[in-house]
Protein backbone atom coordinates (compact mmCIF):
# COMPACT_ATOMS: atom_id res chain seq x y z
CA UNK A 1 0.00 0.00 0.00
CA UNK A 2 1.20 3.56 -0.57
CA UNK A 3 1.76 5.95 2.35
CA UNK A 4 -1.33 7.75 3.59
CA UNK A 5 -1.37 11.56 3.63
CA UNK A 6 -1.16 13.95 6.55
CA UNK A 7 -2.74 17.36 6.29
CA UNK A 8 -2.82 20.46 8.49
CA UNK A 9 -6.40 21.65 8.16
CA UNK A 10 -6.78 25.42 8.70
CA UNK A 11 -10.37 24.92 9.85
CA UNK A 12 -9.12 22.74 12.70
CA UNK A 13 -6.42 25.28 13.52
CA UNK A 14 -9.05 28.01 13.79
CA UNK A 15 -11.25 25.83 15.97
CA UNK A 16 -8.56 24.68 18.42
CA UNK A 17 -6.04 27.52 18.38
CA UNK A 18 -3.31 25.05 17.51
CA UNK A 19 -1.61 23.71 14.40
CA UNK A 20 -3.48 20.43 13.94
CA UNK A 21 -2.12 17.71 11.65
CA UNK A 22 -4.34 14.76 10.76
CA UNK A 23 -2.83 11.41 9.76
CA UNK A 24 -5.42 10.04 7.34
CA UNK A 25 -5.46 6.29 7.89
CA UNK A 26 -9.04 6.43 6.64
CA UNK A 27 -7.50 6.80 3.16
CA UNK A 28 -5.92 3.33 3.16
CA UNK A 29 -7.10 0.33 1.09
CA UNK A 30 -9.58 -0.84 3.75
CA UNK A 31 -10.36 2.57 5.21
CA UNK A 32 -8.44 1.91 8.42
CA UNK A 33 -4.89 1.60 9.78
CA UNK A 34 -5.20 -2.13 10.50
CA UNK A 35 -4.55 -2.96 6.84
CA UNK A 36 -0.83 -2.48 7.46
CA UNK A 37 -0.61 -5.23 10.04
CA UNK A 38 -2.40 -7.72 7.83
CA UNK A 39 0.21 -7.23 5.12
CA UNK A 40 3.16 -7.84 7.44
CA UNK A 41 1.58 -10.70 9.41
CA UNK A 42 0.53 -12.71 6.36
CA UNK A 43 3.87 -12.07 4.66
CA UNK A 44 5.63 -13.39 7.78
CA UNK A 45 3.28 -16.37 7.94
CA UNK A 46 3.93 -17.40 4.31
CA UNK A 47 7.68 -17.24 4.89
CA UNK A 48 7.77 -19.03 8.24
CA UNK A 49 4.84 -21.48 7.93
CA UNK A 50 4.47 -22.24 4.22
CA UNK A 51 2.33 -25.27 5.04
CA UNK A 52 -0.42 -23.09 6.54
CA UNK A 53 -3.73 -23.16 4.64
CA UNK A 54 -5.82 -20.70 6.61
CA UNK A 55 -6.06 -18.21 9.45
CA UNK A 56 -8.60 -17.47 12.16
CA UNK A 57 -9.13 -14.26 14.12
CA UNK A 58 -11.64 -12.09 15.99
CA UNK A 59 -12.49 -8.48 15.27
CA UNK A 60 -15.01 -5.66 15.38
CA UNK A 61 -14.27 -5.12 11.69
CA UNK A 62 -11.12 -3.29 10.67
CA UNK A 63 -8.64 -5.96 11.75
CA UNK A 64 -10.82 -8.57 10.05
CA UNK A 65 -10.82 -6.69 6.75
CA UNK A 66 -7.05 -6.40 6.95
CA UNK A 67 -6.48 -10.10 7.59
CA UNK A 68 -9.03 -11.20 4.98
CA UNK A 69 -7.48 -8.95 2.32
CA UNK A 70 -3.94 -10.16 2.91
CA UNK A 71 -4.90 -13.82 3.38
CA UNK A 72 -6.85 -13.92 0.14
CA UNK A 73 -3.91 -12.38 -1.75
CA UNK A 74 -1.69 -15.12 -0.33
CA UNK A 75 -4.11 -17.92 -1.21
CA UNK A 76 -5.18 -18.59 2.40
CA UNK A 77 -8.65 -18.94 3.88
CA UNK A 78 -9.74 -16.50 6.59
CA UNK A 79 -12.28 -17.31 9.31
CA UNK A 80 -13.30 -14.22 11.28
CA UNK A 81 -15.35 -14.15 14.48
CA UNK A 82 -17.40 -11.08 15.44
CA UNK A 83 -19.85 -10.54 18.31
CA UNK A 84 -23.59 -10.53 17.70
CA UNK A 85 -24.77 -7.07 16.77
CA UNK A 86 -21.51 -6.18 15.06
CA UNK A 87 -21.55 -3.56 12.30
CA UNK A 88 -23.41 -5.02 9.31
CA UNK A 89 -21.45 -2.82 6.96
CA UNK A 90 -18.10 -3.96 8.36
CA UNK A 91 -19.30 -7.57 8.20
CA UNK A 92 -20.19 -7.07 4.53
CA UNK A 93 -16.79 -5.53 3.83
CA UNK A 94 -14.99 -8.48 5.45
CA UNK A 95 -16.98 -10.93 3.35
CA UNK A 96 -16.17 -8.91 0.23
CA UNK A 97 -12.45 -9.18 1.08
CA UNK A 98 -12.86 -12.97 1.27
CA UNK A 99 -13.55 -13.74 4.93
CA UNK A 100 -15.96 -16.27 6.36
CA UNK A 101 -17.64 -14.14 9.05
CA UNK A 102 -19.10 -15.95 12.06
CA UNK A 103 -21.09 -14.26 14.83
CA UNK A 104 -20.40 -15.43 18.37
CA UNK A 105 -20.80 -13.97 21.84
CA UNK A 106 -21.90 -10.62 23.22
CA UNK A 107 -18.63 -8.68 22.77
CA UNK A 108 -15.19 -8.73 21.17
CA UNK A 109 -13.46 -10.54 24.00
CA UNK A 110 -15.97 -13.40 23.96
CA UNK A 111 -15.62 -13.71 20.17
CA UNK A 112 -11.84 -13.75 20.62
CA UNK A 113 -12.03 -16.71 23.00
CA UNK A 114 -14.06 -18.66 20.44
CA UNK A 115 -11.64 -17.77 17.63
CA UNK A 116 -8.74 -19.20 19.64
CA UNK A 117 -10.74 -22.39 20.35
CA UNK A 118 -11.74 -22.92 16.73
CA UNK A 119 -8.25 -22.19 15.41
CA UNK A 120 -6.85 -24.95 17.60
CA UNK A 121 -9.64 -27.40 16.76
CA UNK A 122 -9.42 -26.83 13.00
CA UNK A 123 -5.63 -26.46 12.72
CA UNK A 124 -5.82 -22.85 11.59
CA UNK A 125 -3.23 -20.20 12.39
CA UNK A 126 -4.62 -17.86 15.02
CA UNK A 127 -4.12 -14.16 14.41
CA UNK A 128 -4.23 -12.55 17.86
CA UNK A 129 -5.21 -8.89 18.35
CA UNK A 130 -1.59 -8.06 19.19
CA UNK A 131 1.51 -9.68 17.69
CA UNK A 132 5.03 -8.45 16.82
CA UNK A 133 4.33 -8.83 13.10
CA UNK A 134 1.07 -6.88 13.34
CA UNK A 135 2.94 -4.20 15.26
CA UNK A 136 5.67 -4.10 12.61
CA UNK A 137 3.09 -3.18 9.99
CA UNK A 138 1.01 -0.79 12.05
CA UNK A 139 4.13 1.10 13.17
CA UNK A 140 4.69 2.20 9.58
CA UNK A 141 1.97 4.86 9.85
CA UNK A 142 3.70 6.27 12.90
CA UNK A 143 6.99 6.21 11.02
CA UNK A 144 5.44 8.04 8.04
CA UNK A 145 3.77 10.63 10.26
CA UNK A 146 6.72 11.38 12.53
CA UNK A 147 9.26 11.32 9.70
CA UNK A 148 7.22 13.99 7.93
CA UNK A 149 6.58 15.98 11.14
CA UNK A 150 9.41 15.36 13.62
CA UNK A 151 8.63 18.58 15.53
CA UNK A 152 5.13 17.66 16.68
CA UNK A 153 4.60 18.53 20.34
CA UNK A 154 1.86 15.98 21.04
CA UNK A 155 0.21 13.10 19.18
CA UNK A 156 -3.18 11.69 20.22
CA UNK A 157 -3.76 7.99 19.47
CA UNK A 158 -6.85 5.84 20.19
CA UNK A 159 -6.40 2.60 22.15
CA UNK A 160 -8.31 -0.62 21.63
CA UNK A 161 -6.06 -3.65 22.01
CA UNK A 162 -3.08 -1.31 21.62
CA UNK A 163 -1.30 -1.96 18.33
CA UNK A 164 -1.83 1.61 17.09
CA UNK A 165 -0.39 3.46 20.07
CA UNK A 166 2.42 0.90 20.41
CA UNK A 167 3.28 1.45 16.76
CA UNK A 168 3.49 5.22 17.23
CA UNK A 169 5.62 4.82 20.37
CA UNK A 170 7.92 2.40 18.54
CA UNK A 171 8.31 4.78 15.61
CA UNK A 172 8.96 7.77 17.86
CA UNK A 173 11.63 5.93 19.78
CA UNK A 174 13.25 4.54 16.62
CA UNK A 175 13.46 8.07 15.21
CA UNK A 176 14.89 9.46 18.46
CA UNK A 177 12.07 11.99 18.90
CA UNK A 178 10.61 13.40 22.10
CA UNK A 179 7.00 14.24 21.29
CA UNK A 180 4.36 13.40 23.85
CA UNK A 181 2.07 10.51 22.93
CA UNK A 182 -1.36 10.60 24.54
CA UNK A 183 -3.54 7.50 24.49
CA UNK A 184 -7.31 7.95 24.25
CA UNK A 185 -9.98 5.54 25.47
CA UNK A 186 -13.72 5.82 25.88
CA UNK A 187 -15.08 6.42 29.36
CA UNK A 188 -17.12 3.27 28.69
CA UNK A 189 -14.07 1.09 27.87
CA UNK A 190 -11.22 2.03 30.18
CA UNK A 191 -9.23 -1.20 30.58
CA UNK A 192 -6.09 0.29 28.98
CA UNK A 193 -6.20 3.41 31.15
CA UNK A 194 -6.89 1.47 34.34
CA UNK A 195 -4.19 -1.08 33.57
CA UNK A 196 -1.54 1.59 32.95
CA UNK A 197 -2.57 3.47 36.09
CA UNK A 198 -2.42 0.38 38.31
CA UNK A 199 0.65 -1.21 36.67
CA UNK A 200 -1.21 -4.48 36.13
CA UNK A 201 -3.85 -5.96 33.85
CA UNK A 202 -7.29 -4.63 34.79
CA UNK A 203 -10.33 -6.11 33.06
CA UNK A 204 -13.65 -4.26 32.97
CA UNK A 205 -17.13 -5.75 33.19
CA UNK A 206 -18.27 -4.15 29.96
CA UNK A 207 -17.19 -1.97 27.06
CA UNK A 208 -20.40 -0.36 25.81
CA UNK A 209 -19.09 2.30 23.45
CA UNK A 210 -20.24 3.06 19.93
CA UNK A 211 -16.53 3.41 19.11
CA UNK A 212 -16.34 -0.31 18.40
CA UNK A 213 -12.62 -0.30 17.64
CA UNK A 214 -12.04 0.64 21.30
CA UNK A 215 -14.72 -1.66 22.77
CA UNK A 216 -12.29 -3.92 24.63
CA UNK A 217 -12.78 -5.36 28.13
CA UNK A 218 -9.56 -7.35 28.46
CA UNK A 219 -6.21 -5.58 28.00
CA UNK A 220 -3.28 -7.18 26.18
CA UNK A 221 -0.22 -7.63 28.37
CA UNK A 222 2.34 -7.25 25.57
CA UNK A 223 0.76 -3.98 24.49
CA UNK A 224 0.44 -2.71 28.05
CA UNK A 225 4.16 -3.26 28.55
CA UNK A 226 4.80 -0.75 25.75
CA UNK A 227 2.16 1.94 26.22
CA UNK A 228 2.35 2.03 30.01
CA UNK A 229 5.95 3.21 29.69
CA UNK A 230 5.85 5.00 26.34
CA UNK A 231 2.69 7.09 26.59
CA UNK A 232 2.86 10.39 28.45
CA UNK A 233 -0.69 9.86 29.70
CA UNK A 234 -3.91 8.04 28.84
CA UNK A 235 -7.16 9.99 28.94
CA UNK A 236 -10.80 8.93 28.83
CA UNK A 237 -13.27 10.82 26.66
CA UNK A 238 -17.06 10.74 26.71
CA UNK A 239 -19.31 9.27 24.05
CA UNK A 240 -20.54 12.81 23.44
CA UNK A 241 -16.99 14.04 22.79
CA UNK A 242 -16.39 11.17 20.35
CA UNK A 243 -19.61 11.98 18.48
CA UNK A 244 -18.67 15.66 18.41
CA UNK A 245 -15.28 14.75 16.95
CA UNK A 246 -17.00 12.77 14.18
CA UNK A 247 -19.09 15.85 13.36
CA UNK A 248 -16.05 18.13 13.41
CA UNK A 249 -14.12 15.89 11.03
CA UNK A 250 -17.03 16.07 8.62
CA UNK A 251 -17.81 19.78 8.90
CA UNK A 252 -14.18 20.95 8.99
CA UNK A 253 -12.49 18.46 6.62
CA UNK A 254 -15.34 16.53 4.96
CA UNK A 255 -13.80 13.24 6.06
CA UNK A 256 -15.74 10.36 7.55
CA UNK A 257 -14.48 9.08 10.89
CA UNK A 258 -15.81 6.09 12.77
CA UNK A 259 -15.97 6.34 16.55
CA UNK A 260 -12.51 4.98 17.27
CA UNK A 261 -11.16 6.96 14.32
CA UNK A 262 -12.47 10.17 15.86
CA UNK A 263 -11.29 9.41 19.40
CA UNK A 264 -7.92 11.12 19.02
CA UNK A 265 -9.64 14.35 17.99
CA UNK A 266 -11.97 13.86 20.95
CA UNK A 267 -8.81 13.78 23.06
CA UNK A 268 -7.84 17.15 21.62
CA UNK A 269 -11.33 18.47 22.39
CA UNK A 270 -10.83 17.25 25.96
CA UNK A 271 -7.46 18.98 26.30
CA UNK A 272 -8.10 21.99 24.05
CA UNK A 273 -6.88 24.62 26.48
CA UNK A 274 -3.51 23.00 27.22
CA UNK A 275 -2.85 22.44 23.51
CA UNK A 276 -3.32 26.08 22.44
CA UNK A 277 -0.39 27.35 20.39
CA UNK A 278 1.13 23.89 20.00
CA UNK A 279 1.76 21.65 17.01
CA UNK A 280 -0.51 18.66 17.48
CA UNK A 281 -1.02 15.40 15.61
CA UNK A 282 -4.22 13.35 15.62
CA UNK A 283 -4.68 9.91 14.10
CA UNK A 284 -7.84 9.46 12.05
CA UNK A 285 -7.44 5.71 12.37
CA UNK A 286 -10.51 4.65 10.42
CA UNK A 287 -13.56 5.91 8.55
CA UNK A 288 -15.72 2.79 8.47
CA UNK A 289 -18.85 4.06 10.18
CA UNK A 290 -22.31 2.66 9.49
CA UNK A 291 -24.87 4.91 7.80
CA UNK A 292 -27.34 4.75 10.70
CA UNK A 293 -24.69 5.72 13.25
CA UNK A 294 -23.47 8.61 11.15
CA UNK A 295 -26.99 9.88 10.53
CA UNK A 296 -27.55 9.96 14.29
CA UNK A 297 -24.28 11.83 14.82
CA UNK A 298 -24.98 14.38 12.09
CA UNK A 299 -28.35 14.96 13.70
CA UNK A 300 -26.58 16.01 16.89
CA UNK A 301 -27.02 12.73 18.74
CA UNK A 302 -24.90 9.90 20.11
CA UNK A 303 -25.42 6.38 18.71
CA UNK A 304 -27.07 4.07 21.21
CA UNK A 305 -25.12 1.02 22.30
CA UNK A 306 -27.00 -2.04 23.54
CA UNK A 307 -26.10 -3.15 27.07
Question: What's the CATH architecture for 35-127?
Answer: 3-Layer(aba) Sandwich (3.40)
Residue 182 pLDDT exceeds 80: yes
In the chain, list all ranges with CATH 3.40.50.1100: 6-33+132-298, 35-127
Split at pLDDT 50, 70, 90, the class of 305 is low
Once rounded to an integer, what is the mean pLDDT over residues 91-111? 96
Dihedral sign for Cα 192, 183, 253, 143, please. negative
Residue 307 pLDDT exceeds 50: no
Residue 142 pLDDT exceeds 80: yes
Distance, in Å, from the CA atom of 234 to the CA atom of 159, rounded to the nearest integer, reads: 9
Residue 105, phi-psi category: left (phi > 0), alpha (psi -120 to 50), beta (remainder): left
Distance, in Å, from the CA atom of 62 to the CA atom of 283, rounded to the nearest integer, reads: 15
Distance, in Å, from the CA atom of 173 to the CA atom of 64, rounded to the nearest integer, reads: 28
Question: What is the tens place of the pLDDT at every residue in 110-132?
Answer: 999 999 999 999 999 999 999 99
Query: At 21, phi and psi to the nearest 5?
Result: -105, 130
Question: What is the tens place of the pLDDT at every residue in 238-264?
Answer: 999 999 999 999 999 999 999 999 999
DSSP category for residue 286: B
Query: pLDDT exceeding 70 applies to what percent of the chain?
Result: 99
Once rounded to an integer, what is the mean pLDDT over residues 154-163? 97
- CA distances 246 to 8, 278, 286, 287, Å, are 17, 22, 11, 10
Question: What is the tens place of the pLDDT at every residue in 44-72?
Answer: 999 999 999 999 999 999 999 999 999 99
Is residue 80 within 8 A of residue 67, CB to CB? The reply is: yes
CATH code reported for the domain at 6-33+132-298: 3.40.50.1100
pTM value is 0.95
For the CA atoms of 117, 119, 123, 129, what is the dihedral angle to 10 degrees? -130
Residues contacting 50, CB < 8 A, separation 6+: none
Split at pLDDT 50, 70, 90, the class of 206 is confident
Position 295 scores a pLDDT of: 96
Distance, in Å, from the CA atom of 96 to the CA atom of 58, rounded to the nearest integer, reads: 17
Position 304 scores a pLDDT of: 78
Is residue 132 within 8 A of residue 163, CB to CB? The reply is: no
Amino acid sequence: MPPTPQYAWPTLAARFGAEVWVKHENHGPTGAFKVRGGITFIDWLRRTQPEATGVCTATRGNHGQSIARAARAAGLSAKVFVPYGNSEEKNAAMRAFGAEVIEFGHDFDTAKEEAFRVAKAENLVIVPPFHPELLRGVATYGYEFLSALPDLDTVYVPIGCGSGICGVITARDALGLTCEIVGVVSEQAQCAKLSAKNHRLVETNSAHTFADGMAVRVPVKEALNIYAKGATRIIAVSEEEIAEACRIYYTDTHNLAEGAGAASLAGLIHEKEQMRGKKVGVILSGGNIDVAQFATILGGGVPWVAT
